[in-house]
């Protein structure tokens, strides 16, 4: 959409646009003003709280056919706003506006109304002057605008501008105050900075900072990248080191209850993925040397490591525990053929359960039932198949990251056609029926229990992510808060999300692990 800004004032002494050198729009020899009403249609009304533009203005919006204009009222305290009439006097277009204030419903906003002018298509817009004329209100004069206030905060307090700030304008004792909240921010000069929320109040007339409150959301738990999580018990994370130009990786566990950290494994190769056994006694590891994979199992009680790489199978990228001792894996040695194998970690025995003529890139297992994902990366298409015991596999839907909720239900993400958006679906295996669970733009999800789904949703207006708990029985979602990274691991007992990011501070080059308690986060946000 192309935009042309036609800046206006509230007075008819608006500075004129440069006229054409040829025939003028209005004959200068005429001494009388020619007034005519202009037909218009209101397309949309918004009471904006973004405060990106706080001065009255008219913005030309070129879309489809016809002339569309966005009328901005400036900062106003009101409940509703309207365009009452539009008239033309020679080369001036006067837009008459009004607002209403309802008791208990008024707010400080910037009303914006999109209108279509029905009979102005033949007029040269560069020769027109647009005036916004208030009928029953006077715009609030703001000396320090939103950008100036934020710049003052970032400069004086040295916090990072890595997420969209929450900014509102409030009235206190007849003065207008900017209320600012920075979510998930870091100290700019600390490359291993803790995670903060920062709140401040600034006088819009003087620019004075009336109140400034830093709130610690999370200390750094440790340096590293989270690679797996055992519900309410452990975080598994990887640290990378470089010594004498030799890279190595080590695998660590962080106990969520005792807060202790311990190293359980190290290698000169890459730790591709890990998987906790259901009883949390073992940890399976896929190690990658740049060409081939190896499988290992660490006994978490004794710290003993067992190599269980299947014979002649060195392209294993996905593992899941079938029970406490048997590990299932997908091997992709052959093109378009995948082998599902089991590895008995007690008896060190291997067995091929079945082969499918599919390029399996992900899977989940529930007893003797499997959901298999095949991806065609050339077409950005993924399909989900269901297979049980000796039955043939059958395609159930397009989608990714299929998981069993229980014996009868699957949950998975599906990409919306021609959009950068993913929706969450449930498939009933008994009814062979697919149902849209939510249209939240789901970037990650996990199953908390058979009635609760943890959802990470992408925000359209900011770079952070919204976190939800979805109740399947009530068919409703609860917003927990905002986080920096989509790869977040949720503890239901602690109501805490754990994630690893590189702080947006100066000279930061390593990932650190953080944990945000959503109960505390909601209390901090309520006070804003």
Element (H, E) at 151: helix 146-157
Does pTM surpass 0.75? Answer: yes
Say what the pLDDT of residue 18 is.
Answer: 32
The CATH number, out of the four listed (3.30.160, 3.10.450, 3.30.1240, 3.40.720), of the domain defined by the range 146-218? 3.10.450
Say what the pLDDT of residue 1 is.
Answer: 40
Lookup: tokens for 404: 């069993």
Residue spans per domain, the chain: 36-134, 146-218
Say what the pLDDT of residue 527 is.
Answer: 64
Spatial contact of 234 and 254, defined as CB atoms under 8 Å apart: yes
Say what the pLDDT of residue 35 is.
Answer: 67
**Three-state secondary-structure class, residue 187:** strand
CA distances from 509 to 40, 443, 503 (A): 55, 25, 8
Cα-Cα-Cα-Cα torsion 501, 504, 508, 512, nearest 10 degrees, comes to -20
Q: What stretches in the chain show pLDDT beneath 70?
A: 1-35, 62-66, 119-124, 377-379, 527-528
Say what the pLDDT of residue 433 is.
Answer: 96
DSSP states of 67-80: EEEEEE--SEEESE
pLDDT in tens, 48-87: 998 988 999 998 886 555 678 999 999 999 999 999 999 9
- 416 CB burial (10 A radius; 0-12, 13-18, 19+): exposed
Give me Rg for the CA atoms of the chain: 30
Lookup: tokens for 102: 């309802």
Spatial contact of 498 and 492, defined as CB atoms under 8 Å apart: no
Half-sphere exposure of 502 (CA within 13 A, CB side): 6
Residue 286 C-alpha from the chain's centroid: 29
Tell which residue, 511, 496, 524, has the closest CA to residue 166: 524
Gap between the Cα atoms of 32 and 283, Å rounded: 89
Tell which residue, 183, 229, 168, has the closest CA to residue 521: 183
**Three-state secondary-structure class, residue 521:** helix
Q: Tokens 């529930």 belong to which residue?
A: 366
Which are the contacts of 419, defined by CB distance < 8 A and separation ≥ 6? Answer: none
CA distances from 175 to 74, 141, 247, 328 (A): 17, 11, 59, 66
Lookup: tokens for 138: 């006077």
Say what the pLDDT of residue 120 is.
Answer: 64
């Amino acid at each position: 959409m192309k935009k042309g800004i036609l800046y206006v004032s509230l007075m008819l002494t608006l500075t004129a646009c440069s006229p054409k050198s040829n025939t003028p729009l209005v004959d200068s020899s005429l001494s009388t003003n020619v007034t005519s009403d202009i037909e218009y249609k209101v397309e949309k009304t918004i009471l904006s709280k973004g405060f990106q533009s706080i001065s009255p203005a008219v913005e030309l919006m070129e879309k489809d056919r016809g002339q569309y204009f966005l009328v901005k009222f400036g900062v106003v305290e009101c409940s509703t706003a309207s365009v009452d009439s539009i008239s033309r006097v020679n080369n001036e277009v006067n837009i008459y506006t009004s607002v209403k204030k309802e008791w208990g419903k008024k707010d400080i906003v910037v009303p914006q109304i999109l209108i279509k002018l029905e009979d102005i298509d033949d007029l040269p817009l560069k020769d027109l002057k647009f005036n916004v004329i208030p009928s029953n209100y006077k715009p609030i004069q703001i000396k320090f605008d939103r950008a100036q206030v934020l710049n003052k905060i970032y400069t004086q307090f040295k916090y990072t501008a890595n997420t969209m700030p929450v900014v509102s304008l409030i009235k206190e004792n007849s003065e207008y105050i900017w209320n600012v909240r920075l979510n998930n921010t870091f100290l700019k000069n600390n490359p291993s900075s803790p995670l903060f929320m920062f709140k401040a109040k600034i006088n819009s007339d003087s620019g004075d900072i009336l109140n400034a409150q830093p709130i610690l959301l999370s200390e750094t738990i440790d340096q590293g990248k989270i690679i797996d999580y055992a519900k309410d018990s452990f975080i598994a994370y990887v640290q990378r080191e470089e010594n004498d130009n030799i890279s190595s990786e080590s695998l660590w566990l962080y106990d969520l209850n005792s807060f202790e950290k311990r190293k359980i494994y190290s290698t000169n190769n890459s730790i591709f993925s890990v998987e906790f056994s259901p009883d949390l006694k073992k940890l399976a590891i896929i190690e990658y040397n740049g060409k081939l994979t190896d499988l290992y199992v660490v006994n978490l009680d004794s710290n003993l490591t067992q190599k269980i790489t299947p014979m002649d199978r060195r392209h294993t990228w996905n593992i899941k525990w079938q029970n406490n001792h048997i590990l299932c894996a997908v091997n992709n040695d052959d093109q378009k053929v995948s082998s599902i194998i089991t590895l008995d970690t007690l008896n060190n025995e291997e067995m091929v359960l079945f082969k499918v003529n599919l390029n399996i890139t992900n899977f989940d297992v529930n007893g003797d039932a499997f959901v298999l994902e095949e991806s065609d990366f050339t077409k950005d298409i993924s399909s989900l198949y269901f297979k049980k015991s000796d039955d043939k596999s059958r395609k159930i839907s397009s989608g990714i990251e299929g998981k069993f909720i229980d014996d009868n239900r699957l949950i998975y993400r599906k990409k919306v056609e021609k959009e950068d958006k993913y929706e969450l679906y449930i498939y009933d295996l008994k009814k062979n029926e697919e149902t849209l669970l939510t249209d939240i733009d789901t970037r990650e999800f996990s199953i908390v229990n058979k009635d609760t789904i943890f959802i990470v949703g992408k925000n359209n207006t900011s770079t952070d992510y919204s976190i939800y708990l979805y109740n399947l029985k009530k068919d409703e979602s609860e917003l927990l808060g905002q986080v920096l990274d989509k790869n977040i691991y949720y503890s239901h007992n602690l109501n805490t999300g754990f994630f690893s990011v590189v702080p947006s501070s100066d000279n930061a080059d390593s990932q650190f692990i953080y944990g945000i308690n959503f109960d505390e986060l909601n209390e901090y946000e309520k006070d804003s």
